[in-house]
Amino acid sequence: MARLSEEQLIHFREEGYLVVRGLLDPVQDLDPVIREYKGVLDELAGELHAQRRIPSTYAELPFGPRLIRICAESGQVHAQYFDFSLPQKGIKPDTPFWAGPAVFKTLRNESLLDAVEAFIGPEIYSNPIQHVRLKPPEHLVPKDPKTGQVQLGSTPWHQDNGVLLPTGDQSEILTVWFPLWDATEENGCLMVRPRSHRRGLLHHCRRWNGLAIPDQFLPEEALPLPMKRGDVLFMTQLTCHASLPNCSEEVRWSFDLRYNPIGQPTGREMFPGFVARSRKHPESELRDPSAWYQLWRQARDHLAQQEDRPFNRWGVDDKVCA
């Protein structure tokens, strides 16, 4: 069992974040996910080539250079194709997502859940606010023809509590972030504002690259957190964080997960979560990856028939955002 020391837990409570080095095994825990996503990229390349949007599938290239080449030549980053969540608007019956068995196994990774248990207790729910981030170098990312901005760039300063609905405000939602490949300052590692969680929920404004906290509300200190494969970052839902731009020649690849105690609202109830661990009722745990996939498939089918609904509380006309 991955036990955290009292010193580590005190650091988390006081600073709002904790990096646990080497919590995951890169070969046993991360490489199966990488192999699975190679198959996902194969499918995407085949579809784009069949549509004559790219001249080749580039099957001879390694994963990172292949993804960069496909994005550049197709003019899209195809982020939704890889994600194990759904978009916040415009969901259609054929909206792509990936909820594969290796991803599911990672969400239920024993070492990861042991650490999560130290923060929120043994009754653990996998919160559906979760993403994979495959960020190509910004100078190679296609631009949005409407805005002129890169389609997938650095993430602005925000709190995870700020991107959910008020139903989750009283829930104890833990953010779990880790890189599949090393995250460096050059390729866009995360940054945190230590002790920012003590300020409560700050105002967020809608920007071209997502919800962002206006500069005047941010604490002064910003701390970059370079991480190796196997390292895991834990944050409170009120910790201010952002990512640096990817100024390298490589893809920055990470998982962004959430967990909360069973029975507490997730803040995004239209998406499906599941019981990842229960010491009281182990029979309630979801262990079948195909059942997890079907939960997301059913959510997509249902939401495709609905009008777009709000996923957070912020308006576009807030004076502070002018």
Going from N- to C-terminal start, the domains of the chain cover: 6-26+104-307
- The reported pLDDT for the residue numbered 115 is 98
Confidence of residue 2 (pLDDT cuts 50, 70, 90): low
Query: Residue 121 in 3-state DSSP?
Result: coil
User: With 80 as the cut, is the pLDDT of residue 171 above it?
Assistant: yes
Query: Residue 257 in 3-state DSSP?
Result: strand
Look over the chain and give the mean of its residue pLDDT values, rounded to a whole number.
95
Helices (H), the chain: 6-15, 31-50, 63-74, 79-82, 101-107, 110-120, 289-303
Beta carbons within 10 angstroms of residue 100's beta carbon: 18
Among candidate residues 215, 258, 210, the one with its CA nearest the CA of residue 237: 258
Look-up of token digits 């709190």: 159
CATH class of 6-26+104-307: mainly beta
More confident residue, 145 or 201: 201
Question: For residues 30 and 47, what is the distance between their CA atoms, to the nearest angstrom?
Answer: 26
Phi, psi of 195, rounded to the nearest 5 degrees: 65, 5
| Across 232-245, average pLDDT | 98
User: With 70 as the cut, is the pLDDT of residue 184 above it?
Assistant: yes
pLDDT in tens, 22-49: 999 999 999 999 999 999 999 999 999 9
Number of H helices, E strands in the chain: 7, 11
pTM: 0.96
The whole-angstrom distance between residue 56's C-alpha and the CA centroid of its chain comes to 30
If you average pLDDT over each of 57-71, 140-154, 201-215, which comes out highest?
Answer: 57-71
Contacting residues for 5 by C-beta, under 8 A, at least 6 apart? none
